[in-house]
Structure 1
Amino acid sequence: MTRVVSIFLPDLATDRIRRADPAIPADQAIAVIAKSGSKRWVAAADMAAREAGLRVGMPAAKAQALFQGLMMVDANPVADATALERITFWALTHYSPIVAVDGLDGIVMDTEGADHLQGGEEPMLSGIANRFRLKGLKARVAIADTWGAAHACARAITRDTVIVPRGETARAVERLPISLLRLPPKIIGDLRTLGFRTIDELSTTPRAPLTLRFGPEIGRRLDQMFGRSREPIDPVRTADLVEVTRSFQEPIGAAETINKYVGLLVIELCNELQKKGLGARRVDLIVHKVDNSIQAIRAGTAKPARDVSWLTKLFKDRTEKIEPGFGIEKLTLVAVMSEPLDEVQRSSSLVEEEVKDITPLIDIFGNRGSRVYRLAPVASDVPERSVQRIGAAADDVAILWSHQWPRPVRLLPHPELAEVIALMPDHPPVSVKWRGKRRKVKRADGPERVFGEWWIRNSELEAVRDYFVIEDEAGERLWVYRAGDGVDGNTGSHKWFVHGIFA
């Protein structure tokens, strides 16, 4: 069953202004002013302005009088639309093969078969909200069975995310206002005049009188919301995307036929990529069915590629997931992510050099939903900052680890608090209680002092950690540290933590 994600950007206009000028203070209230002739009114306001009492539609003069420190910026719908389109293209390459702009302030995505790449629906939605927040964009994210339900729930919630369970669309939207049905404002106003307030009231009303008075639009939106009629998402496209298409006079559905035309499309795509000197990193197969529905399959590569046989194999391994239904009328293959790829001349020596390339294995695991990456060093003495994730096929990092002291094979995601008996300030622990188990220390080595990085965080100007390698009676070796130097309270809390485990 299709699952649709709606991303609502309630403060897109003001967020765009802040992103364009990072010098704007975080607590500065911003209002976007629209004008028509001599009339000027508030078209958008950020959280600080709304808390001061500003509302969309308020006259600009009243808003300025209400908040003297208000920053007023003229509305720029073209810039807002361009920003939304750019965000949509970014989402296309990161989350789903089927992504489109949803109105003036949102994005809609079909995530069928794509959520497992993000760890499931809940981690995917939380990740989207957090990622947008890091980019300076406030987002509310909802997932439901239909575009209409996801759109309405994203705009009705006050929290960051909401998940509408499969098959529970009616219960989720019945109490929502009719303004969330994506109907023209004139129809919404007339319905309110007639006494309609919620979607449930409208959906339980006989269809014929509504159609006679307002036309088929109300019934169409209700059917789309409740899944009684399909609402395909037309994926966003840019002129620089490499795309090839094959339409069929007679619908196809057999697996052999699908694989045959996928192979032909891969050849065409690779030819187009070669003309532009590009290699594909992420390729989407868009399946257009005769019942007006769309299905998509995504394949990614660890390095830029335009090897016909390999790209064909990546898709043929997954075409079994295609559900042709009543038939497929068009197949589209599009390289949504591509990078420069130069031709490599093969060696002409009599003895071929053995080259071990594990990129195909990385591609197989990656397309099955596994997160494949490598760990690389970072120039930092703080252990949790001295490592980073890089692409599995990325170039080697020039920085090397250069620690005189041993490092554990497993670093915990976060240091875990432990109860330690130790003589202050420099003696190693004699007993450690961690995860409910008391360990008597048999051997210990240390301390290794690690200083805070004041150029990253002001709070680390005086901070230090004293690390010890300890071994208990069972032979288990742990990496523990005391926050602080054991004397000065400004250097740390003097609490003990377990940070790693040795082999």
Structure 2
Amino acid sequence: MPAQGQPQLQPQPLVTIHRSGQRVTIAAACPAAQALGLGPGMALTQARALVPGIEVEDADPQGDAALLERLALFAARRWTPRAAVAGADGLWLDLSGVAHLFGGEQAMAARIVHFCARLGLFARIAIAGTAGAAHALARHGPGSGGGSGGEILICAPGGEAQALARLPIAALRVADEVVSAARRLGIETIGELIAMPRGPLGRRFGAPLLTRLDQALGRAAEAVEPIVPEAPPSAAARFAEPIASAEAIAAALGSLIVALVATLEKKGLAARRLMLRCARVDGEEQRIAIGTARATRDGAHLLALLGPRIETIEPGFGIDAMKLVAERCEPLGPVTIESALAGEAPAPDLAPLIDRLAGRLGAHRLFRMSAVESDVPERSLCIVPPLGEAGSEQPLQWPKQWPRPVRLLAHPEPVDKVVALLPDGAPRRFTWRGDTHVVRQADGPERIYGEWWRSRNEAQAVRDYFQVEDECGARFWIFRRGDGVDRRTGDLSWYVHGVFG
């Protein structure tokens, strides 16, 4: 049973809609909406009559298609070279010859389900000997074994007819008119179609139904056009004689950058990450890589970033080939210069400076802080890239009556041997990092409640913060877990969360 006073969150039914003239129908429905009897193809007026409180959003078929294409490209690079987009809501993956690399079909399917769950997607995976059977089972068949993030159904080799027998005719990807005509004749499942003579079926419903049935059962081939990942832009050079000096490598690098920039301009792209591969005569390969804070195809800037890395290359007995690859690219088009028409000077471009500093100090050492909407102090700030967008356009506003410390610890550090009067008394003595501090002055408490919508454990959580100053003048931001009365709000342990001054 939930704890008393703990809020219970119920998922709000959500559907997406598309409009065709004056008709508005459901394009997709969330699991909560499907549990209430809503589904694709249903009129929105009928859905609202059944469930008055549903949430409605416009469908984005172009965005869905773009997402499926990105997923297909990822699958072609990571899982199987034969991947294709299947309709408006799925992917084809040919597992022939690759499933054993991932521990078998079941393990590979579970891995894909876990990957989709991390993206916030619920996956239904069906593995069968034919593309038509897999398509039908994934959308109309029962699933199991995938965990909370998805469902998995594996059809035994040669068992397509038995697996499809109980599925509806619509699973064969035939027109709605064919499905309606079959229902008028009392034909509901694929098994009933399989048992009927082919001649009357062809005359009654046409050749497309027989073709789809044969493709699902493996009697006819089905062409699947896989998506082919495009090779990243690159420039290569081979040398008649091996080179080994830094000057020769720099000269060859300059030529490669000029060629790569020309290729990027033709494609309307700009580089975010470059990889230089140097093949030595002994078969070893030397690599150096750089990244940029913003997509660019400025050859001089890229050369300035790669130039200092040349000294890290060990040419050995010589380098006979070099290749410069733009591993990560982004579209780059004309950019409006702000305030140019008003006669004001444009804002300085910090990207070149950030790239140079990242090359010397390391990219992980460059960041900026962004405000996050949260009352819990350690969640109210986050790290973003130097040129990344902040999480909030408004500056962080702390309570004026309760100033925050100059230094906020990454994680609250526990203190012990605390002497304090419950429930609202400030600590009079505590030990932190092995030193004992005697408190001379204190202010508080400032009460901060847990974020119950994040975790059930925070539904009743309470923190009481105090600003304390010890006998040496050091000032600390210290808090107690719990309100000092109800043990359900916290275990009454103490922590230092920041330091003033």
TM class, shorter-length: 0.5 to 0.7
Q: For residues 430 and 399 of structure 1, what CA distance do their matches in structure 2 show? A: 38
The answer to whether the aligner puts 1:292 opposite 2:283 as a matched pair is yes
Are the counterparts in 2 of residues 14 and 32 from structure 1 also a CA contact under 8 Å? no
- Greater C-alpha radius of gyration: 2
Are the counterparts in 1 of residues 340 and 346 from structure 2 also a CA contact under 8 Å? no
The answer to whether the aligner puts 1:308 opposite 2:299 as a matched pair is yes
Are the counterparts in 2 of residues 465 and 483 from structure 1 also a CA contact under 8 Å? yes
Distance apart, 1:13 and its partner CA: 4.4
1:418 maps to which of 415, 419, 436: 415
What SS does the aligned partner of 1:309 have? helix
* CA 75–299 in structure 1, closer or farther in 2 if over 3 Å, else same: farther
Which residue in 2 is equivalent to 1:452? Answer: 450
1:428 maps to which of 426, 430, 436: 426
Q: For residues 353 and 394 of structure 2, what CA distance do their matches in structure 1 show? A: 26
Q: For residues 119 and 331 of structure 2, what CA distance do their matches in structure 1 show? A: 35
Which residue in 1 is equivalent to 2:389? Answer: 395
Distance apart, 1:341 and its partner CA: 2.4
The answer to whether the aligner puts 1:407 opposite 2:413 as a matched pair is no
Are the counterparts in 1 of residues 109 and 152 from structure 2 also a CA contact under 8 Å? no
* CA 253–344 in structure 1, closer or farther in 2 if over 3 Å, else same: same
What SS does the aligned partner of 2:425 have? coil
Describe how 1:368-379 pairs up with structure 2 within 5 A. 368=360, 369-371=362-364, 372-379=366-373
Distance apart, 1:9 and its partner CA: 6.3
The answer to whether the aligner puts 1:73 opposite 2:154 as a matched pair is yes
* CA 33–277 in structure 1, closer or farther in 2 if over 3 Å, else same: closer
The answer to whether the aligner puts 1:482 opposite 2:480 as a matched pair is yes
What SS does the aligned partner of 1:494 have? coil
Q: For residues 433 and 358 of structure 2, what CA distance do their matches in structure 1 show? A: 34
**C-alpha offsets along residues 202-228 of structure 1, whole Å, 9 cap, x if unaligned?**
xxxxxxxxxxxxxxxxxxxxxxxxxxx
Q: For residues 465 and 485 of structure 1, what CA distance do their matches in structure 2 show? A: 7
What SS does the aligned partner of 1:314 have? helix
Distance apart, 1:22 and its partner CA: 8.1
Distance apart, 1:360 and its partner CA: 2.6
What SS does the aligned partner of 2:374 have? coil
The count of aligned residue pairs is: 301
Q: For residues 257 and 441 of structure 2, what CA distance do their matches in structure 1 show? A: 62
Describe how 1:10-29 pairs up with structure 2 within 5 A. 11-20=107-116
**C-alpha offsets along residues 112-152 of structure 1, whole Å, 9 cap, x if unaligned?**
xxxxxxxxxxxxxxxxxxxxxxxxxxxxxxxxxxxxxxxxx
**C-alpha offsets along residues 186-208 of structure 1, whole Å, 9 cap, x if unaligned?**
xxxxxxxxxxxxxxxxxxxxxxx
Which residue in 2 is equivalent to 1:249? Answer: 240
Are the counterparts in 2 of residues 442 and 473 from structure 1 also a CA contact under 8 Å? yes
* CA 295–356 in structure 1, closer or farther in 2 if over 3 Å, else same: same
Distance apart, 1:449 and its partner CA: 0.9
Which residue in 2 is equivalent to 1:359? Answer: 351
**C-alpha offsets along residues 11-35 of structure 1, whole Å, 9 cap, x if unaligned?**
54432244447899xxxxxx99999
Which residue in 2 is equivalent to 1:471? Answer: 469
Are the counterparts in 2 of residues 247 and 329 from structure 1 also a CA contact under 8 Å? yes
Are the counterparts in 2 of residues 379 and 399 from structure 1 also a CA contact under 8 Å? no
Q: For residues 279 and 415 of structure 1, what CA distance do their matches in structure 2 show? A: 43
* CA 360–464 in structure 1, closer or farther in 2 if over 3 Å, else same: same
The one-letter code of the counterpart of 1:421 is V
Identical-residue share of aligned pairs (%): 42
Q: Given the two structures, how large is their TM-score scaled by the length of structure 1?
A: 0.54
Q: For residues 17 and 379 of structure 1, what CA distance do their matches in structure 2 show? A: 32
Where do 5+ consecutive residues of structure 1 fail to align?
Answer: 1-7, 25-30, 36-48, 50-69, 77-236
Are the counterparts in 2 of residues 466 and 481 from structure 1 also a CA contact under 8 Å? yes
* CA 276–34 in structure 1, closer or farther in 2 if over 3 Å, else same: closer
Are the counterparts in 2 of residues 483 and 494 from structure 1 also a CA contact under 8 Å? yes
Distance apart, 1:442 and its partner CA: 1.8
Are the counterparts in 2 of residues 285 and 297 from structure 1 also a CA contact under 8 Å? yes
Q: Given the two structures, how large is their TM-score scaled by the length of structure 2?
A: 0.54
* CA 270–345 in structure 1, closer or farther in 2 if over 3 Å, else same: farther
What SS does the aligned partner of 2:403 have? coil
The one-letter code of the counterpart of 1:402 is Q
* CA 241–75 in structure 1, closer or farther in 2 if over 3 Å, else same: farther
Q: For residues 454 and 109 of structure 2, what CA distance do their matches in structure 1 show? A: 31
Are the counterparts in 2 of residues 481 and 496 from structure 1 also a CA contact under 8 Å? yes
Distance apart, 1:460 and its partner CA: 0.5
Q: For residues 311 and 281 of structure 2, what CA distance do their matches in structure 1 show? A: 19
Q: For residues 293 and 34 of structure 1, what CA distance do their matches in structure 2 show? A: 43
Are the counterparts in 1 of residues 429 and 436 from structure 2 also a CA contact under 8 Å? yes
Q: Which moved more, 1:339-348 or 1:384-393?
A: 339-348
**C-alpha offsets along residues 161-201 of structure 1, whole Å, 9 cap, x if unaligned?**
xxxxxxxxxxxxxxxxxxxxxxxxxxxxxxxxxxxxxxxxx
Distance apart, 1:349 and its partner CA: 7.7
Distance apart, 1:73 and its partner CA: 2.6
1:342 maps to which of 325, 333, 350: 333
Q: For residues 501 and 453 of structure 1, what CA distance do their matches in structure 2 show? A: 24
The one-letter code of the counterpart of 1:73 is I
Distance apart, 1:436 and its partner CA: 1.2
Q: For residues 401 and 498 of structure 1, what CA distance do their matches in structure 2 show? A: 22
**C-alpha offsets along residues 409-437 of structure 1, whole Å, 9 cap, x if unaligned?**
22222211112211111121111211111
* CA 21–446 in structure 1, closer or farther in 2 if over 3 Å, else same: closer
**C-alpha offsets along residues 359-388 of structure 1, whole Å, 9 cap, x if unaligned?**
333212322335211111111111111111
* CA 353–16 in structure 1, closer or farther in 2 if over 3 Å, else same: same
* CA 16–370 in structure 1, closer or farther in 2 if over 3 Å, else same: closer
What SS does the aligned partner of 2:302 have? helix
* CA 349–321 in structure 1, closer or farther in 2 if over 3 Å, else same: same
What SS does the aligned partner of 1:336 have? strand
Q: Which moved more, 1:440-449 or 1:12-21?
A: 12-21
Are the counterparts in 1 of residues 102 and 108 from structure 2 also a CA contact under 8 Å? yes
2:261 maps to which of 267, 270, 274: 270
The one-letter code of the counterpart of 1:306 is R
Which residue in 1 is equivalent to 2:148? Answer: none
